[in-house]
A and B are shown apart, each in its own frame.
Chain A
Amino acid sequence: MMPETSSDRAPGKRRDKSTGRLATYTAGLGFALLLTAGSFLVGKTGLFWPPGVPVGLAVLAIAQMGVHLVFFLHISTGADNTNNVLALAFGVLIVGLVVTGSLWIMMHLNANMMPPGAAMEMRH
């Protein structure tokens, strides 16, 4: 049992023990549905400027991850949540390094693997 005076909060635990718990999940579901619908709208229909679609999809996906973290996993900015947020920040840092690092290196390797003419066009 978690004492009320504890200085830390377990990930996924809510601070509000008595009120607004069902409402939190339902609000999260609503936001997630809206953002998912937005993703399909942006990705599937030709309504949007095509070069902007990947950026739009990325923004919607990151927003929905945020919604899931806040409303389903109850990660907040409170002082009792510092450990959870720091661990998350470290995870995000490593994920960012792995993904951007791989893409960056492989883009250069791809450029070097191309025939000389194509590779010359890739260089700035």
Chain B
Amino acid sequence: MNTAATNGDLLRIPAHDTPQESTGPGAQGPAPVEIVVAYGFWIFLLSDIIMFSALFASYAVLSGDTAGGPAGHDLFNLEHVAIETLCLLFSSYSCGLGALAIERRHLPAFYLCSAVTFVLGATFLGLELTEFSGMVAQGAGPTRSAFLSAFFALVGLHGVHVSIGLLWLLFMVAQVVAQGPRDYVLRRLHCFSLFWHALDIIWIALLTLVYLLGART
């Protein structure tokens, strides 16, 4: 009788006091580090995109001001740009596959995916540098006109981001080799894949605004 009442109380008390009752945001205490880190990096990426938007706006404003120099349709080679686009897209895909592999602690697959990501990213960068040096060689460098200044600033900034991404990827692979797939290494890798996918999103805007619209006569 007595024990039954006690049991009843024990059963009832948790039902009233357990934290499961409150279900709003933050009801379960601070978010895990994984979420905080990725969310902070997400905010950084959005601010990076806002920085790009200023250069996009200046390019859109200045794209017609060729000062008698070459315009976009004289300079852009869309076959070249299509290969660059495919490099970045497949690089993003293999980066995603690498994230899946490291989640499953499948290291050989992760190394393979990272190598593919790196090679495709480096190919993109090489193609872009070839394009830039070709333009400078034919007298269409960044000092030629406002259009070309805006072009080199915008596309060059994306290229700088890709270079930083490639360096970062090398560092991350080195960390996985040296320290294994520990939690903090995985968090950094996750930030890297967010960065790499975001660069691809910026490239879509570049491809459309700069190359596809610029190549029209």
Contacts and interface: CB of A to CB of B under 8 A. Distances in A.
* Bind each other: yes
B8 interface: no
Contact of A87 (B42, B92, B205): B42
A121 B90 CA distance: 48
A111 to B, nearest CB: 13
B43 A33 contact: no
A1 B200 contact: no
A76 interface: no
B32 A95 contact: no
Contacts of B216: 43, 50, 53
Interface string B157-187: 0000000000000000000000000010000
A122 interface: no
Contacts, number: 145
* Chain B interface, >50% SS class: helix
Most buried by A among B34, B86, B93, B100: B93
B15 interface: no
B197 A12 contact: yes
B46 A2 contact: no
A61 B194 contact: no
Most buried by A among B97, B183, B207, B208: B208
